[in-house]
Each structure stands twice: as structure tokens, then as C-alpha cells.
Structure 1
Amino acid sequence: MFINQSVQAYSRPMMSSSMHQQLRQKALSVLGPKILWMAVGKVLLFFCPLLLMVNFWLTSSAGRLALVVEDAEKGRYVLMDEHIKLRAERARLYSPEYLNKIAASQLALYVPGKEQITRF
């Protein structure tokens, strides 16, 4: 049994070029007019370097501030060490043994013994 298949020419349906052009213009109009994009480009061209310079300035300021804080911390530790040494020196100077020694050597003052104390 033979089946007769007819051969038919097939062409893809294509829209007219004017319709295609209109769709392309609509796609471009969604992005906005060219003048608007040029204005945005000019603003970005001005503000991007400005923001970059501000960022560099803030970064360098933060770095300098970190160095100042570090130096202040080092100075604080030095002062804390000196404070500890001075408190130890004050405790030594006010100790009864040191006071007795200085009184004996410079002023010839001695603590009286029990046999030297008499009551009337």
C-alpha cells in the first residue's frame, strides 16, 4: 500500500520590517531616552572620582587615627608602670622601718626601750 505524501513548501512566518522596527524602538524606549542616559553618565563621571577621593581621604584619616590611638595606648601603659613604681616607692617611704631608720640617722631619734619609760 502506497501512501502518497504531498510535498508542500513551508516558509517561516515573518513579521514585516516596520513592525520589527517598532518593537525594537519600544525596547529601546523602555531603557529611557538617550539624553537621560547621557545625563546620568555625566553625573556618574563627576561623582565617581569625587566619591573615590572622599573614600581615600576617610581611609587615610582612619589610619592616622588608629596610629594616634595606638600611641596613646603605649603612653597609657608607660604611665601605668610609672604609677605602680611610684606607689611602691611611697609605700617604702611610709613604712615604719624606713621612718625609724631615717629618724635615727638624720635626727638622732630612737624609739625608747621599755626600761627607759617611767611613769609618775
Structure 2
Amino acid sequence: MFINQSIQTYSRPMMPSSMRQHLRQKALGVLGPKILWMAVGKVLLFFCPLLLLANFWLSSSAGRIAVALEDAEQGRYLLMDEHIKLRAERARLYSPEYLNKRAASQLALYVPGKEQVTRF
């Protein structure tokens, strides 16, 4: 069995800190925009489909709301027509000519003539 019992220390060769700082800045200068654009690309890759889905959903919702609004407007016009017809019918039913005719036919009530009215 061979055991090396040397007590020598080993230190890694190191470059001066100014040189290390210079190399780090150079690496960031080269890779900085690339890293930034990769991050922007990842964000866009996530948000673009999300934005596209939101756009589709909003456009379909707007279409459904437009159809519902059109149906409500059509119903409003129909109700306005019915209201006009009902007001004309009410005016006809409350007219004095119609009331006199109806009273004469159903209740035998007639408006007396001038020669029929006497004062005491």
C-alpha cells in the first residue's frame, strides 16, 4: 500500500481581480443583449398566445353582445308597434260614437232627442 504523505499545499493559479472584472464585463457586453433578447423572447412566447386567446374571446363576446342587442332592438320595435295599435284601439273604444252605439245595442240606452226632453 502506497500512501503519499506530502504536506504540500496546492493553490490554484488565480488571475488578478481587475483582469477578472474586465473579462466579466466583456462577457456581459457580448452576452448581455443576447440574454436580454432571450428573456424578451420567452416573455413574448408566453404572452402572445395568451393575448391571442384573449382577443378571440373578446371578439366572440362582442359578436354575441351585438346579436343580443339587435334582438332586443327588434323586440323593442315590435313592442312599440303593439303599443301604437293598443292605443288606437283604446281611443276607438273610448270614443263617444262607439260608446253610444254600444249602449244602444246592448243596454237599449239612447240619447234623447230635443223633443223628448221636458223641463218641469
Q: The TM-score by the shorter chain falls in which range?
A: 0.7 to 0.9
Counterparts of 1:89 and 1:30 in 2: how far apart (Å)? 87
2:100 is matched with 100
Counterparts of 2:106 and 2:30 in 1: how far apart (Å)? 101
Correspondence 1:65 to 2:61: no
1:76 is matched with 76
Q: Which amino acid aligns with 2:115?
A: E
**What RMSD in Å do the two structures reach over aligned CA positions?**
1.9
Aligned-partner SS, 1:38: helix
**Paired residues, number:** 94
Counterparts of 1:59 and 1:31 in 2: how far apart (Å)? 41
Identity of counterpart residues, as a percentage?
87
Aligned-partner SS, 2:118: coil
* Closer/same/farther in 2, CA of residues 103 and 59 from structure 1, 3 Å limit: same
In the TM superposition, what whole-angstrom CA distance separates every residue of 1:76-111 from its partner, at most 9, and x where no partner exists?
Answer: 010010000000000100011100011001110000
Q: TM-score, normalised by structure 1?
A: 0.73
1:118 is matched with 118
Question: How far 1:35 sits from its partner (Å)?
Answer: 1.7
Q: Which amino acid aligns with 1:48?
A: C
Name segments (4+ residues, structure 1) moved above 6 Å: none
Q: TM-score, normalised by structure 2?
A: 0.73
* Closer/same/farther in 2, CA of residues 114 and 46 from structure 1, 3 Å limit: same
Question: How far 1:117 sits from its partner (Å)?
Answer: 0.5
Question: How far 1:30 sits from its partner (Å)?
Answer: 8.6
Question: How far 1:33 sits from its partner (Å)?
Answer: 2.8
* Closer/same/farther in 2, CA of residues 87 and 34 from structure 1, 3 Å limit: same
1:23 is matched with none
1:6 is matched with none
